[in-house]
Amino acid sequence: MSRIGNKPIEVPAGVKVDINGTHVKVVGSKGTLERHIRPEIELVQSDGVITVKCLDNSKRTRAFSGLTRTLVNNMIVGTEKLFNKKLIVEGVGYKADIKANLLTLNVGYSNPVEFPLPEGVTGSVEKTTISLESIDKELLGLTAAKIRQIRKPEPYKGKGIRYEGEHIVRKAGKSASK
């Protein structure tokens, strides 16, 4: 079994976990998440602790045990407290605005780009920082990646949309070769 799959998952006091075969439902103070897990993996719940068991001993199943443990743990953590992701819009004249779950980006194209935020993801904009929040870590990461894809940061001036804390490796321009 994987090292991550061996770790038990502790369920906090305010979170309720229902396991019905391969269906897992987590209810917390921030919301509800549901997921189907692989049939070769079993979740065992006892005394506020969930453990992951492999029904066979193949290498593939052991790998999925670590994945399943991480996914269920993220569901529990997300329903207890929100996950958040920050994106930075960098460039002269680049700006962002959110109105009623519709993100409008002015990032150097002839027309503004409108991006509808999926249900379950909320956002806010403060100057050039886009803050996204959700209880579902997977959905939040996909949404942030799609927003970044609209205008990736370029290596010469660093203009574009990047994650907070992301380092852009800069290249020297034409004048550096002389």
Domain boundaries, the chain: 3-80, 83-163
Residue 156 CA to residue 175 CA, distance in Å, equals 12
CATH topology of domain 3-80: Outer Surface Protein A; domain 3 (3.90.930)
Q: Which pLDDT tens digit goes with each residue over 125-172?
A: 999 999 999 999 999 999 999 999 999 999 999 899 999 999 999 998
Task: Report the predicted TM-score, pTM, of the whole model to 2 decimal places.
Answer: 0.89
Q: Write out the E strands in 9-120.
A: 9-10, 16-20, 23-27, 32-36, 41-46, 49-54, 83-90, 95-99, 102-106, 113-116
% residues pLDDT > 70 (the chain): 97
**pLDDT of 175 higher than 80:** no
What homologous superfamily is domain 83-163 in, according to CATH? Ribosomal protein L6 (3.90.930.12)
